[in-house]
Amino acid sequence: MTTAVIDQTGGRIDDAAPAPGRRVRGFAWIGLLPFLLFLFVFLLLPTYGVARKAFIGADHSFTWTGMSDAVTKERPAFVQSLKISLVSALLGVVFGTLLAYAAATATRPKWLRSLVSAFSGVAANMGGVVLAFAFFTLLGRQGLGTKILTTGGVDLYKSSWFDITGFWGIATVYLYFQIPLMFLVTLPAIDGLKVSWREASSNLGGTTWTYWRRVGLPVLAPSMLGGFLLLFANAFSAFATAYALNTRFNVVPVKISFYLQGDIAGRSPLPFALATWMVIIMAVAMGGYLLLRRRAERWRS
Amino acid sequence: MGASIVEEVLAPSPPPILVGSSPRRRWIARLGPNLVLFACAVFFVAPLLSMARFTLQNVPVIRLGWSTLFDKWTFRALTKAFDDPLFWPTLKLSLKLAVGTIVVSLGLLIPTALYVNLRLPRARGLVEFLTLLPYVVPPIALVAGVAAFFRPNAKWYLNSDYALVPLYVVMALPFTYRSIDAGIRAIDLRTLVDASRSLGAGWGTTLRRILLPNLSASIVSATFLTATVVLGEFTMAATLAKTTFPVFSYQYFGREAQGGIGLALLTLVGSTALLGIFTLFTRRKARKRTARA
């Protein structure tokens, strides 16, 4: 199979097929050995270690009880994990797409777009202790933002629905890396919306609304859906941010850490069953993302 | 979280979509997007500013007002944190881990990516797929597995502080490999190698004098991303009870909130400075190359 890939930066054509006269022989695979061996030891064996502890009972026989126990015992953690991942992914998709559209169509100032892109690259990788602390100082009970909002007439802590260590607080903090990630994922798709499509739509008598409903959103749909899955996976696996804000926040990653610390000998299958569930959920979400990304690339030319 | 799932290459800017022709109508059409940009600017800058103020100003938020706005700005919380006996050892450990991770990553991935592109193009899909696997096994699951598998089989490995290096290499793998592979695809690899070899250069010379200089931009970007990830990684270090700099910051926050947040600010400023230095470095390098051409 010959696939010619046009590189985005250089525009050079890179021929993926081996040059004629160079047959790939079986032993050529030996060159990959260090890489494969490394992944085997530091990725595959640990994953195997998790699955083994989750599926092998005390009597050394295969059992499903560890996995089913994890779901029944830790149902609240799963529910909370799903809820915060869904909410932060949904909000991230909406605001990330809006931000990408706003930055992609802005004409002035010229440096705006590259500034937002560069910042998104940094912020999407942020998280953990630094991010948690920053939001403590902003939206904590004694936070600067809380005070400014109170002065402006909005008391965040008056009714009990908001707390920086609670669901909506942590969801807000997650948005700090979810929105930039969505921005990075969806910007190429928004760039792919051609001006001529819009002109064609209005020449045929379509309004802005018709354009978005019949052309814009259907073209963006695969990358938005893919982005949603990516953001979902991202929030589902986030540990350090939630833990630094609230060590008792009831989500799956924090629970895994809690059981690991409490059980040094590693006799209980519970944390490992939770971790296995997590890997399964991540595999489904990431697989869906990769499939949708392939679909989304169809419109880019 | 650390290494997040950033993997889209940014495309060059297209012509903007303009709605309406008169300045007035354009202004109205831009109202929504500009509001979005403004709201995002506030949301993304405010936490950083409030963190800086919390560290550098010794005035509690309750007593903060227009009259006390310029009172008691000081670096004392930070300098006090520097004097903590754990500050330098943990910072040194984190820096060593960063260097180790970068060396192992580059040493493993540059040869692999070159080999795949030169000799085994049909393995490209497989290798790319393998480099995405760390996304499926999040740090907390990976570290649980490492503890479960290595504790009975190789306890000496877990006892070493450097046990974190290969785990960080795995965590950084998706973007380090992507960055190096993109660099290789942007050059005419086979022609360069064939030219160098036919002029009598060995593989070592070809790598040192031809390939590495041509790949320097992507190597630098992989290096920077790896460094920031390692300097901020908390999950695996805390679970394996290794007191790295982020773990120390977190513990110090429990004792001295102001100083702990100062350390987080320091991490952020340090990473941003790294980014700035590398950007300057790559830009100068690129300019030099265009000047020579």
- Residues of A107-144 as b/e, b for ≥16 C-beta within 10 angstroms? eeeeeebeebbebbbbbbbbbbbbbbbbbbbbbbeebb
- Chain B residues whose beta carbon lies within 8 Å of the beta carbon of residue A208: 19
Contact flag B64-A144 (C-beta cutoff 8 Å): yes
**Which of A46, A176, A187 is facing B146, going by the closest CB pair?**
A46
Do A125 and A132 touch, CB atoms closer than 8 A? Answer: no
- Chain B residues whose beta carbon lies within 8 Å of the beta carbon of residue A123: 44
Who has greater pLDDT, B242 or B77?
A: B242
Give the pLDDT score at B286.
Answer: 63
Distance separating alpha carbons of residues A265 and A271, to the nearest angstrom: 12
Å between B94 CA and nearest CA of chain A:
15
Distance separating alpha carbons of residues B178 and B7, to the nearest angstrom: 8
- Residue range A257-267, pLDDT digits in tens: 999 887 656 67
Q: Identify the top-confidence range among A47-51, B194-198, B215-219.
A: A47-51
Distance separating alpha carbons of residues B122 and B104, to the nearest angstrom: 25
Closest-CA residue in chain B for A147? B61
Q: What is the mean pLDDT of residues B8-21?
A: 44
Contact flag A184-B6 (C-beta cutoff 8 Å): yes
- Residue range B141-185, pLDDT digits in tens: 999 999 888 888 888 898 899 999 999 999 999 889 988 999 998
Å between B144 CA and nearest CA of chain A:
7
ipTM of the complex in this document = 0.83
Contact flag A187-B8 (C-beta cutoff 8 Å): yes
- Residue range A153-208, pLDDT digits in tens: 888 888 777 888 899 999 999 999 999 999 998 998 888 888 888 889 888 988 88
Distance separating alpha carbons of residues B149 and A170, to the nearest angstrom: 32
Helices A128-139 and A167-191, axial angle in degrees (round to 10)? 120
Give the pLDDT score at A133.
Answer: 92
- Chain B residues whose beta carbon lies within 8 Å of the beta carbon of residue A124: 4-6
Who has greater pLDDT, B27 or B109?
A: B109
- Residue range B88-135, pLDDT digits in tens: 999 999 999 999 999 999 999 999 999 999 888 888 889 999 999 999
Q: What is the pTM of this model?
A: 0.85
- Chain B residues whose beta carbon lies within 8 Å of the beta carbon of residue A99: 36-37, 40
Beta-bridged to residue A14, according to DSSP, are A5
Instruction: State the residue for tokens 């069953």.
Output: A273
